Amino acid sequence: GDTLYVEADRLLAFDGALRQGTMFMGSQGGVMGLVRGQVTGQGLFTTTLSGHGAVAVMAHGGVIELPITPDRPVHVDPQAYVAHHGEVTNKLSTAIGWRDMVGRGSGEAFQLELRGSGAVYVQASEE
């Protein structure tokens, strides 16, 4: 009875009883939602699947489920994001510091922050 938000290139198959749709990335996070689509290479829309049924997704290195609670948001590398479900909002945040400016940074320049109640599914390895 929930909605799964899944990146289109990660969706392999789904039960015919599920309702398929799309969500405009600008509706979550405004301009940063649009930037997220460009940073991840996913574009301006993501796929939604609603109802009761099974979904098969593809991922590098397997899929890990991370719970999201109101008091414990989750930060994900945008390239590792596969899908999420629940009452979750997401936004792209930057983590650029002075070390990144001088070429000594060790992390990703952008992180996807997910808040609310639900779960996020990430791949264990990047492409």
Query: Tens digit of pLDDT for each residue in 70-98?
Result: 999 999 888 888 999 999 888 777 665 55
Q: Which residues of the chain have pLDDT under 50?
A: 30-32, 105-106
Q: What is the pLDDT of residue 112?
A: 84
Please give the model's pTM, rounded to 2 decimal places. 0.76
Give the model's pLDDT for residue 23: 80
By the 10 Å C-beta count (0-12 exposed, 13-18 middle, 19+ buried), 114 is classed as buried
* Number of domains the chain contains: 1
Q: What pLDDT, on the 0 to 100 scale, is given for residue 111?
A: 82
* pLDDT for position 35: 52
Query: Where residue 60 sits, what CATH number does that domain have?
Result: 3.60.160.10
Q: Which long-range contacts (CB under 8 A, 24 or more apart) does 65-68 make?
A: 65/119, 65/120, 65/121, 66/119, 66/120, 66/121, 66/122, 67/118, 67/119, 68/114, 68/115, 68/116, 68/117, 68/118, 68/119, 68/120
Question: What range defines the domain where residue 103 resides?
Answer: 2-123
